[in-house]
Amino acid sequence: MRPRVGVWLFGARGSVATTTVAGAAALAHGAPPAGVVTAQPAFAGAGLAPIESLVFGGHDVIDTPLAKQVERLIAGGVLPAGLNALITAELAAAERNLVVLPVAATQAEAIRRMAEDLRAFRLRNDLDHVVAINVASTEPPAEVGFTELPELRAALDAGTPLPASCAAALAAFEAGASFIDFTPSTSIRPPVIREWAVERGLPFGGQDAKTGETLVKTVLAPMFTARSLPVHAWSGTNLLGGGDGATLADPRAAESKNVSKERGLSDLLGPDVAGQVHIDYVDPLGDWKTAWDHVLFSGFLGVRMTLQFTWQGCDSALAAPLVLDLARLSALALQRGHVGSMPFLGFYFKDPVDSTEHSLTVQYDELVKWVQAC
Amino acid sequence: MRPRVGVWLFGARGSVATTTVAGAAALAHGAPPAGVVTAQPAFAGAGLAPIESLVFGGHDVIDTPLAKQVERLIAGGVLPAGLNALITAELAAAERNLVVLPVAATQAEAIRRMAEDLRAFRLRNDLDHVVAINVASTEPPAEVGFTELPELRAALDAGTPLPASCAAALAAFEAGASFIDFTPSTSIRPPVIREWAVERGLPFGGQDAKTGETLVKTVLAPMFTARSLPVHAWSGTNLLGGGDGATLADPRAAESKNVSKERGLSDLLGPDVAGQVHIDYVDPLGDWKTAWDHVLFSGFLGVRMTLQFTWQGCDSALAAPLVLDLARLSALALQRGHVGSMPFLGFYFKDPVDSTEHSLTVQYDELVKWVQAC
Amino acid sequence: MRPRVGVWLFGARGSVATTTVAGAAALAHGAPPAGVVTAQPAFAGAGLAPIESLVFGGHDVIDTPLAKQVERLIAGGVLPAGLNALITAELAAAERNLVVLPVAATQAEAIRRMAEDLRAFRLRNDLDHVVAINVASTEPPAEVGFTELPELRAALDAGTPLPASCAAALAAFEAGASFIDFTPSTSIRPPVIREWAVERGLPFGGQDAKTGETLVKTVLAPMFTARSLPVHAWSGTNLLGGGDGATLADPRAAESKNVSKERGLSDLLGPDVAGQVHIDYVDPLGDWKTAWDHVLFSGFLGVRMTLQFTWQGCDSALAAPLVLDLARLSALALQRGHVGSMPFLGFYFKDPVDSTEHSLTVQYDELVKWVQAC
Amino acid sequence: MRPRVGVWLFGARGSVATTTVAGAAALAHGAPPAGVVTAQPAFAGAGLAPIESLVFGGHDVIDTPLAKQVERLIAGGVLPAGLNALITAELAAAERNLVVLPVAATQAEAIRRMAEDLRAFRLRNDLDHVVAINVASTEPPAEVGFTELPELRAALDAGTPLPASCAAALAAFEAGASFIDFTPSTSIRPPVIREWAVERGLPFGGQDAKTGETLVKTVLAPMFTARSLPVHAWSGTNLLGGGDGATLADPRAAESKNVSKERGLSDLLGPDVAGQVHIDYVDPLGDWKTAWDHVLFSGFLGVRMTLQFTWQGCDSALAAPLVLDLARLSALALQRGHVGSMPFLGFYFKDPVDSTEHSLTVQYDELVKWVQAC
Ligand SMILES: NC(=O)c1ccc[n+]([C@@H]2O[C@H](COP(=O)([O-])OP(=O)(O)OC[C@H]3O[C@@H](n4cnc5c(N)ncnc54)[C@H](O)[C@@H]3O)[C@@H](O)[C@H]2O)c1
Ligand SMILES: NC(=O)c1ccc[n+]([C@@H]2O[C@H](COP(=O)([O-])OP(=O)(O)OC[C@H]3O[C@@H](n4cnc5c(N)ncnc54)[C@H](O)[C@@H]3O)[C@@H](O)[C@H]2O)c1
Ligand SMILES: NC(=O)c1ccc[n+]([C@@H]2O[C@H](COP(=O)([O-])OP(=O)(O)OC[C@H]3O[C@@H](n4cnc5c(N)ncnc54)[C@H](O)[C@@H]3O)[C@@H](O)[C@H]2O)c1
Ligand SMILES: NC(=O)c1ccc[n+]([C@@H]2O[C@H](COP(=O)([O-])OP(=O)(O)OC[C@H]3O[C@@H](n4cnc5c(N)ncnc54)[C@H](O)[C@@H]3O)[C@@H](O)[C@H]2O)c1
Ligand code: NA
Ligand code: NA
């Protein structure tokens, strides 16, 4: 019998989370799995949990009903008109598993309560595996000073030393869940957090899903390399509205995003490429993003040429099928007893954990190879 | 001792040919090999002939001096100012090996004389291998009715049954040279022509180098496939001036180009993608090409999105280093005794001989694998 | 008391017509008049008929209910979700005034019956003025040989010598209505048709509304002129789906469109500008149009530069408010007793009747001047 | 007899100044006056000084020979190859009139010496009018606290209270020259500086020439207004290299530019338009600028649409003919005895002195009207 898989979303009432839950329900009603990579034949024999069997739950700091978020996303053209009527039952089921993020005097206590929420979710829904995915608002970068677990444990008992995303990761590990960071937040960056996962024998992965401009970059940059065409400058401007846009309007939060966005380019083309990346909040764009990139390169004997592209995408509609993929793949990793980082998921991320490979094609091959192994 | 390699160019006074000859000379004077793929470390151990050792010759129907063509290309910004003074000796050397295309009463006779020109080139320059590359003007598509060699031989004795590109290929084979078609002309398309090459024990490859819009397409299309994002329409407009543009302003010649341009997309994405490709002659663009592509795709639950790109390239500066690559790789094939089609050169072509693989990354891996074999 | 104005649409069930009727109803319910030029303060004092007082009717060759067309346009994102429920009454009222285009043995008889339909519309709705606007499918170009009215009348009695758009214009004139051609069809091009209008003492105008690429062109081209920057080439590609796109997929219909599209550019920049305009039918684009234009110009001492633009518009949503404008302005012309062509409406058209002025700013000033006159 | 006009350039060895001097010489040798607005027939009867009669001089802080700057601009594709040989005499003549910017203990003394340089230029070249134009590097914005002339004079005697551009303007006025600011620096912004000009009976104008992105904006924004299409967001990214780019890489200098860039848009479309403007220094772009603008607007019933444009221009080649225009027009103003600001030159500027009119067409009409007056 197929194992029952629960998907715990941090940021469970946001656009990405809502589109994920609504989309899984739509697939169960027969919508084609556009954008779902694990629906490809190459992934068929690996025993991945069927999407329609996934059970959703999660934490958020707001309590707007999922059904209301679905309506907002329909009005914004992200979800198809009429979907809400079709999936009322599924939304209600997920709604019952959503919990307001606990607040406590010490972070140790907060993590304990969060882990408790995950365990309750597992019990109530009779789940074999729980996979946690962070789709909460992007945090500003943070330095985590602790290098040893005991030191960290003492600090957690005394106050709130960690950013929320690290607490989320630890709560997942405490509840025996895997953890994926879909965002560029701190979460599993500190080695001490990764150590905690390993101690509990659990897998983790991330970070910052590549769904738009960066996705395109990671196929174009290898083209220039393969053809020995020197790239002199790569400049980009991203215009976005929505909740994510509003968060990134704060330059400190945008910093996290920029760091992970830039990583791929310098890994792929080297450090000497000029050019900046801008992220602009443009409220009237709603849930849509437009990115313009300008690449200045040269050919034979130094003659200068350019490639420009404009990407106009609906971020949540690009992200949600990847969240479903990552849920299925994390569950497989749990089932296979994988412990520690999952660099074979680099295909999904701007800043892949424990990997400097950014070429999409190479990453795809690595992913398929892992899935088809054993 | 390294074998001496001669490069015979059909269309030897055109922009691509002139840029190739001038560029090889510039590299000999220390210019960096931008755009030359075989200059990458991955190709280092295979014993490829050094670029500065290549000897150039060829046929053309015009007799404008190479030095004059170089001046025109400098004025057009294709070649760097001042290059002509630097490479006078190399241009003069190549000029001595250029021959006006012979005309004769029967094509058998014409081919005989052309082959004679190639043999004289080999003798005069003491060459171990001669590789022929077709960089002549694109022809309109042509049907070649013959299926058996004797039948074809009889027709050649009686008149001029074949397009010029087929005659060029046969002349190369008669002279013991390999043949690469850099254009989408008929040349090696008819099976009977390929049979001739095999009979002579020679390798051939092509067709239609991918240097711009199509190059970009063959990395972007696999991205959509890898991410399971359905592509609904892919439309493209190419604006180009120059000699190639003037040729393609003839809708019959453009047809050959369009066929090879479209091949990759339908092989990569399937036949159901809407959209047309236009090639417009815009004389004032000179040797420059601008291509705009518009891709309509959808993500999760059918939401429509677009990717557009604009490519502004100097065609000859993109083509010339590839001609150098193909010369070196063909010489290696000759040396290795390879007979028949060279599908492992698909990396370079819009419509690769005996291959339906169009993904640039996969093609790159196939190329490197072949080079590093034995 | 304000005169009652009826608007007769040829092509009354098409996208533009449906958006016009639905949009007028939406404005009556308080939607802001975005895109309606005559809602600007400069038009306030002229006694234009209020939009909410306009009465709609028309001919079409199909009988799909308006309400169904509205649903289709909502699904396509042209009209806002929920609009159909709000405007049921207005749609039903217009539906009662829609008539299937009469067919008859001779065109004289067909025109008589069409005019009868217009007269019945006037009587039934107690209208002071009827203004007719052609928003039917674009026809291929047609030569009309007749130069004298009696000759034409005889031909109409004997068969069907004229394209449908000419018959529509004559039916309007027979019923005492003004006539505007929103399309590039033949309609009022033949002098003999214009003579007919003058004989009846009626105004006419057109042709081919400028709503997208051409609109942008007519502000950009004067910029180059004003700054003495020579334009060498102007190339354009239009991608469009929808009913209009399907019609223009026929190269003969597209010819009419191309002719009117090119007119402005050569009037504005002279005949020596290179470049082509393409219109591609891309079915999956639905009611949306994307146009890309590439302008090659030069500055001081001949240095080459480029301007490119991409326009992504919803054609019907751009057209409908202009139909409302033209209805109001035609009614004003009728009221003022204007006879013959209306060149002061050039602001709205790619190929303005009796005018070679294409600069949008100049046209705007001419329009306002006419409205504010007397 | 035509009056002899001298043109004094602050920043006389920069790219714009060098292109101006070299370009005027090229015109004298028969190059067509592309980009020179005052070469249009509309300006013919006004008695403007012929371009080939203009005499150039100026201040700079560097002493790189003009001839060397010309070579750099030829290498960068700004000036045509071979021009230097043609115009050696003209460059040498201008070189003799270039002076290193004087340095002094007090700004009063510096201004005195600068004015002395201008007077010497006038005497040496037997000039009737001297027009000064500031094409020096953009300064950061500066607050000038003085409101009364005596107060300012006292401060100048005591130290260096003003930014360099204000000193340049005062030196021009002291020498009886008109002053135009081609940059967004402080120069004539403070009312007390303008008072000084009026006291001396001299005209002044500016600021910040519109040559690229802003130029396009000031024809596109009025299009949206004329058509009643609400603009929700206008975002722009400017990539530029060269000396100007290097200066603007300093965020404080960029601030001046951004302020004048944004002025037009809010004057044209109102304050509620979202979106940011970025200026990125991209060194490998050399003297070229690429700007991408994204405009989000809506049509009928709120449906969202976009217009994007990409401008690829050579800044100095766009600027230089305007400097020639402004020199001729300033000389005409001097001749006509015009005193104070010249708002009728708004056609040339992003932030026109004493004018809030930004529509290019209206500005053109105002300019022609002034030229043709009297
Ligand atoms: N959509 C994409 O294509 C994409 C790609 C890469 C990364 N991401 C990242 O995914 C995340 C979600 O994006 P979105 O568009 O859904 O944003 P959103 O603003 O719509 O949703 C974020 C949700 O997180 C909640 N939240 C905030 N702090 C929390 C906390 N400490 N614990 C639990 N919930 C919390 C918010 O209340 C909100 O409901 C962002 O960090 C974004 O950068 C998205
Ligand atoms: N530049 C690129 O990026 C690129 C890419 C793919 C294919 N190609 C193809 O390469 C070819 C050359 O392009 P180009 O820009 O140099 O064009 P070009 O017009 O400058 O040169 C073509 C030359 O071929 C000569 N020629 C014509 N017929 C001939 C014949 N029968 N035998 C010998 N010579 C003949 C012409 O006289 C001319 O000198 C074209 O077919 C083009 O389509 C170029
Ligand atoms: N939408 C724009 O921005 C725009 C701009 C300029 C011109 N136009 C023109 O407006 C017209 C309408 O465009 P649309 O998008 O509504 O097209 P559409 O195809 O949706 O509608 C055209 C309608 O005309 C009807 N029709 C065909 N022949 C007819 C006839 N002889 N008499 C009466 N009706 C007839 C068709 O049945 C259809 O319902 C087209 O000609 C188009 O080129 C549109
Ligand atoms: N090129 C355009 O399209 C354009 C448009 C609008 C404004 N501008 C402005 O024109 C100016 C010139 O641009 P550029 O491309 O020539 O820049 P540039 O850097 O090439 O030249 C500026 C010159 O000014 C000199 N300079 C600096 N401080 C000075 C001072 N106090 N007095 C005299 N000279 C001084 C510098 O040494 C340099 O030679 C810039 O301020 C730029 O922003 C240019
Ligand atoms: Na093939
Ligand atoms: Na006209």
- Taking the centre of ligand 1 as the mean of its atom positions, its distance from the CA of residue A275, in whole angstroms, is 27
Closest by CA to D179, choosing from D6, D8, D50, D5, is D8
Q: Please, are residues A304 and A229 in contact by the beta-carbon 8 Å criterion?
A: no
Single pTM value for the model: 0.95
Confidence band, pLDDT 50/70/90 cuts, at residue D1: low
Quote the DSSP letter at residue D274.
Answer: B
What angle (nearest 5°) sits at the alpha carbon of residue B71, between those of residues B66 and B76? 125
- As a whole number, mean pLDDT of residues D38-56 equals 96
Q: What is chain A's Cα-based Rg?
A: 20
B91 or A248: whose pLDDT is higher? Answer: B91
Phi-psi map region of A176: left, alpha, beta (phi>0 left; psi -120 to 50 alpha): left
For ligand 4, residues with CB inside 6 Å are: D 10-11, 13-16, 59-62, 101, 135-138, 164, 182-183, 208-209, 211, 242-244, 247, 315-316, 318-319
Please give the average per-residue pLDDT across D196-225, as a whole number. 95
Q: Let me know the angle formed at the C-alpha of C313 by C311 and C318, rounded to the nearest 5 degrees.
A: 125
Question: So what's the pLDDT on residue B1?
Answer: 62
- Whole-angstrom CA distances from A319 to A84, A171, A349 are 20, 24, 11
Provide, as residue numbers in chain B, all residues whose Cβ is less than 8 Å from the Cβ of D310: 310
Q: What is the predicted pLDDT for the residue at A266? A: 84
Q: What is the mean pLDDT of residues C109-133?
A: 98
Kindly report the number of other CB atoms within 10 A of residue A52's CB atom: 11
Element holding D223 (H helix, E strand): helix D213-226
Average pLDDT, integer, range B57-61: 98
Q: What percent of chain D has pLDDT over 70?
A: 99
Other Cβ atoms closer than 10 A to B88: 12
- Is the sign of the CA dihedral D263, D269, D274, D280 positive or negative? negative
How many CA atoms lie less than 13 Å away from D233 in the CB half-sphere?
23
Average pLDDT over chain D, rounded to an integer: 94
Q: What pLDDT score does B260 carry?
A: 75
Does the beta-carbon distance from C285 to B237 stay under 8 Å?
no
Amino acid identity, residue D23?
A: G
Regions of chain A short of the pLDDT cut 50: none
Q: Which atom of ligand 2 is nearest to the CA of B211?
A: 3
Amino acid at A214: T
Question: Above 70 in pLDDT, residue D334?
Answer: yes
C214-230 CB burial, b ≥16 within 10 A, e <16: bbbbbbbbbbbbbbbbb
For B321-369, the pLDDT digits (tens) are: 999 999 999 999 999 999 999 999 999 999 999 999 998 999 999 999 9
Q: Which listed ligand is nearest to D286 at the C-alpha?
A: 4
pLDDT at D271: 86
pLDDT at A44: 94
Cα–Cα distance measured from residue C281 to residue C284, given in angstroms and rounded to the nearest whole number: 9
Whole-number Å distance, alpha carbon B28 to ligand 2 midpoint, is 25
pLDDT tens digits, one per residue of B252-273: 888 877 777 777 788 889 888 9
Burial label, B236 (beta-carbon count in 10 A; 0-12, 13-18, 19+): buried
pLDDT, tens digit (0-9, with 9 covering 90-100), for D126-170: 999 999 999 999 999 999 999 999 999 999 999 999 999 999 999
- Quickly state the pLDDT bin for B160 (edges 50, 70, 90): very high
Q: What are phi and psi of A346, to 5 degrees?
A: -55, -30
Chain C residues within 8 Å of chain A (Cβ atoms): 74-75, 77, 81, 310
- Alpha-carbon D333 to chain mean position: 17
Which 8-state DSSP code applies to residue D337? Answer: T
The residue of A213, A229, A232, A235 whose CB has the most chain D CBs within 10 angstroms, and thus the best one to mutate to test that interface, is: A235
Alpha-carbon torsion angle C233, D218, A309, A72, nearest 10: -140
Mean pLDDT of C210-225: 93
Max Cα-Cα span within chain D: 68
In angstroms, the CA B101 to CA D279 distance is: 55
Q: State how far the Cα of C143 lies from the Cα of D12, in Å rounded to an integer.
A: 63
Torsion of CA D295, D298, D303, D305, to 10 degrees: -20
What pLDDT was estimated at residue A1? 61
Strand order in the sheet with B304-314: A277-281, A231-240, A288-298, A304-314, B304-314, B288-298, B231-240, B277-281
DSSP string for D108-148: HHHHHHHHHHHHHHHHHTT-SEEEEEE-SPPPPP------S
pLDDT exceeds 90 at position D122: yes
Distance A75 CA to ligand 1 centre (A): 19
| Coil/strand/helix, residue A170 | helix
Residue C133, SS3 per DSSP: strand
B111 min Cα distance to partner chain D (Å):
44
C27 pLDDT exceeds 90?
yes
Task: Looking at chain B, list the stretches that DSSP marks H as alpha helix, in order from N- to C-terminal side.
Answer: 15-28, 66-75, 83-86, 88-96, 107-124, 149-158, 164-174, 191-200, 213-226, 242-248, 251-269, 315-335, 360-372
Task: Check: CB of residue B327 under 8 Å from CB of residue A105.
Answer: no
Q: How far is the CA of C318 from the centre of ligand 6 (A)?
A: 22
DSSP string, C65-88: -HHHHHHHHHHTTSS-TTHHHHTH
Identify which of C135, C213, C259 to mutate to test ligand 3's pocket (most ligand atoms within 8 A of the CB): C135
- Distance separating alpha carbons of residues D55 and D53, to the nearest angstrom: 6
What span, in angstroms and rounded, lies between the C-alpha atoms of B12 and B56? 9
Q: What are the structure tokens assigned to B325, written together?
A: 């690559």
3-class DSSP assignment, residue B75: helix
Nearest CA to ligand 4 atom 6: D209
Count of CB contacts below 8 A, A vs D? 65
Q: Whose CA is nearest to atom 31 of ligand 3?
A: C164
Answer whether A20's CB lies under 8 Å from A145's CB: no
Where does residue B206 fall: left (phi above 0), alpha (psi -120 to 50 degrees), or beta otherwise? left
C-alpha pair distances (Å), B276 with each of B283, B347, B349, C239: 22, 24, 20, 10
* CA-wise closest residue to D279 among D306, D307, D250: D250
pLDDT tier, D262 (very low <50, low <70, confident <90, very high otherwise): confident
Task: Using DSSP, state whether A314 is helix, strand or coil.
Answer: strand
pLDDT digits (tens, 9 = 90+) for C330-361: 999 999 999 999 999 999 999 999 999 998 99
Estimate the crossing angle of helix C213-226 against helix D213-226, to 10 degrees. Answer: 130
Residue B217 identity (one-letter amino acid): K
Answer yes or no: do C290 and B283 touch at CB < 8 A: no
Whole-number Å distance between alpha carbons of B165 and B171: 10
* pLDDT at residue number D3: 84
Residue D261 confidence (pLDDT) above 90: no
Q: List chain B residues with CB under 8 Å of A311.
A: 305-307
| Alpha-carbon gap, residue D220 to D229, rounded angstroms | 11
Q: Summarize the confidence of residues B176-203 as an average pLDDT.
A: 97
Radius of gyration of chain D (CA): 20
Chain A: closest CA distance from residue C132 (Å):
36
Q: Which domains does chain D have, with CATH numbers?
A: 5-209+317-371 (3.40.50.720), 213-314 (3.30.360.10)
- Across the range B16-32, mean pLDDT stands at 97
Please give the structure tokens belonging to residue B198. Answer: 């095999």
Residue C1's pLDDT is 61
Q: Is the pLDDT of residue C236 over 70?
A: yes
Q: What's the mean pLDDT in D281-300?
A: 94
